[in-house]
A = this chain, B = another copy of it.
Amino acid sequence: MVEPQALRADARRNRDLIIAAAKAVFAERGADVPMEEVARRAGVGVGTLYRRFPDRDALVREVAGDSFAVLLARAREAEAEGGRGWESFLGCLKDMPELWFTLRLTLFSPDAWPIVRDDASVRVTARELRLVIDGLVRVAQAEGTLRSDVGTGDVLMLVALVVTGMRASSGALGAVVHERVLALALDALRPGSAAPLPGRPLTPDDLEPRV
């Protein structure tokens, strides 16, 4: 648990640059982009990248851990806000799409998931995140903001699909499309459904499988 601050100042800075760059580039092009691409985006050489992270897997784990942690922090903020917390949580999605992109990689990408799965600390954070979001969903349902025939899994899946699918359409009107379609999807979560949904409400654990 010792935090080896033995890192020189510039080394520390570069490390952060690399993680930020990796987040962005993983989001845009998938977790299998060449390491050199990550390095270029971070403005460092490949050597620097490999000295800090032994191999690609280490980098992926680090990025995933960081992303989950940020999301968890956001979710806790929303939780603390009480009643309208759920909507404020959803609202912030617009501000950090790259986080969802990253999540997509770890949730939907067949090659990235096994890597992340083996990291105990990430697994703990992810579980914690699910719990908090689950709480937000229940509160929102209790106050009538969210339709009651859906589970947290349904909500997560719908939002994740919409937000993460946007990756490709980042053209000029990409932002507009993003906003509109997300707004549409969230509209689907209002109470007062016309027809009953098939099947049973999905739990957050339903989303994990990916064995």
A residues near B (Cβ < 8 Å) are: 108-110, 150, 153-154, 157-158, 160-162, 164-166, 168-169, 171-173, 176-177, 179-181, 183-190, 193-195, 197-200, 202, 206-207, 209-211
Contacts and interface: CB of A to CB of B under 8 A. Distances in A.
A150 to B, nearest CB: 7
A150 B183 CA distance: 11
Given A168-B109, A179-B198, A154 B206 contact: no
A179 to B, nearest CB: 5
A89 to B, nearest CB: 17
A14 B197 CA distance: 41
B197 A183 contact: yes
B199 A195 contact: no
Contacts of A173: 202, 206, 209
29 contacts: A108-B168, A108-B169, A154-B184, A157-B169, A157-B177, A158-B184, A158-B185, A161-B161, A161-B166, A162-B162, A164-B165, A165-B165, A171-B209, A171-B211, A173-B202, A173-B206, A176-B199, A180-B197, A183-B197, A183-B198, A184-B185, A184-B188, A184-B197, A185-B185, A186-B188, A187-B188, A187-B194, A188-B188, A190-B194
Nearest to A153: B177
Given A108-B169, A161-B165, 12 more contacts: A150-B184, A153-B177, A154-B184, A161-B161, A162-B162, A165-B165, A171-B209, A176-B198, A180-B199, A183-B195, A185-B185, A190-B194
